[in-house]
């Protein structure tokens, strides 16, 4: 089976946060948790870039390696999921993840903890597909319905790509080849009329 991946094309991201809003609405994510967020690098300076970040569903996920109760698992598609029933809220996965994907819900007083939450690639969790129990814990299971993650579907500039890793790589390769940077293709150099090293 194909391994699924996310890819954010920084030359197309306009920092509209539609991906963040779509994710929160689709899954009714608790207050204080952003399964996806837009990070801006060099904000307000030449070379500014925005990148939509979430769990990258790593091949050798550090969150899974750090978890003392082995609540993380990888599906046949390569989606890294976790079981909230097994999670003890220790936070090791939070510190192990380079993308800051696992997060504590902020529903109580300072210092209170709960079960970790993270991007599920719209694949639900260990419960039976598309059941109320699965939705309550993990949100909508769009993959079971044959759909892509809502964040990628709602991206107006198609900056955020999701799906089969090989197809995503081919799309990005074609974009980079077409841009050519200097051939008149749209990009940061054309928009800001600057010689930005990419």
Per-residue pLDDT tens over the stretch 97-128? 998 899 887 665 555 667 899 999 999 999 98
Q: What's the pLDDT at 183?
A: 45
- Least Cα distance to 125 among 138, 144, 142, 114 occurs for 138
Q: Let me know: does 130 contact 145? Beta carbons within 8 Å.
A: yes
Q: With 70 as the cut, is the pLDDT of residue 198 above it? A: no
> Nearest CA to 11 among 195, 183, 165, 176?
176
Q: Please, which residues have CB within 8 angstroms of residue 146's CB and are 6 or more apart in sequence?
A: none
Backbone angles phi, psi at 162, to 5 degrees: -145, 145
> Dihedrals φ, ψ of 176, to 5°?
-65, -40
Instruction: Say whether pLDDT at 191 is over 70.
Output: no
Model confidence at 182, pLDDT cuts 50, 70, 90, reads very low
pLDDT at 147 > cutoff 90: yes
DSSP 97-118: -TT---B----SSTT-----B-
pLDDT at 184 (0 to 100): 47
Backbone Cα Rg of the chain: 18
DSSP 78: -
**185 touches 179 (CB < 8 A):** yes
Largest Cα separation within the chain, whole Å, is 56
Q: Is the pLDDT of residue 181 over 80?
A: no
Q: Classify residue 91 by burial, with Cβ atoms within 10 Å: 0-12, 13-18, 19+.
A: middle
Beta carbons within 10 angstroms of residue 77's beta carbon: 16
Answer left, alpha or beta for residue 123, where phi above 0 means left and psi between -120 and 50 means alpha: alpha
What's the pTM value of the predicted model, to 2 decimals? Answer: 0.81
């Amino acid at each position: 089976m194909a391994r699924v991946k996310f890819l954010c094309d920084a030359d197309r991201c306009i920092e509209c946060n539609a991906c963040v809003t779509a994710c929160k609405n689709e899954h009714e994510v608790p207050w204080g948790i952003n399964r996806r967020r837009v990070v801006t690098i060099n904000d307000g300076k030449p070379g500014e870039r925005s990148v939509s970040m979430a769990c990258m569903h790593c091949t050798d996920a550090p969150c899974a390696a750090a978890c003392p109760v082995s609540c993380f698992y990888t599906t046949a598609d390569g989606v890294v999921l976790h079981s909230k029933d097994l999670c003890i809220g220790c936070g090791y996965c939070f510190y192990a993840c380079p993308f800051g994907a696992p997060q504590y819900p902020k529903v109580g007083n300072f210092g209170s903890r709960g079960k970790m939450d993270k991007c599920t690639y719209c694949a639900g969790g260990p419960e039976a597909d598309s059941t109320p129990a699965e939705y309550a814990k993990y949100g909508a299971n769009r993959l079971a319905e044959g759909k892509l993650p809502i964040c990628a579907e709602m991206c107006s500039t198609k900056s955020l790509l999701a799906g089969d890793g090989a197809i995503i790589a081919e799309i990005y390769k074609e974009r980079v080849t077409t841009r050519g940077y200097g051939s008149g293709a749209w990009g940061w150099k054309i928009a800001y009329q600057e010689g930005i090293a990419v």
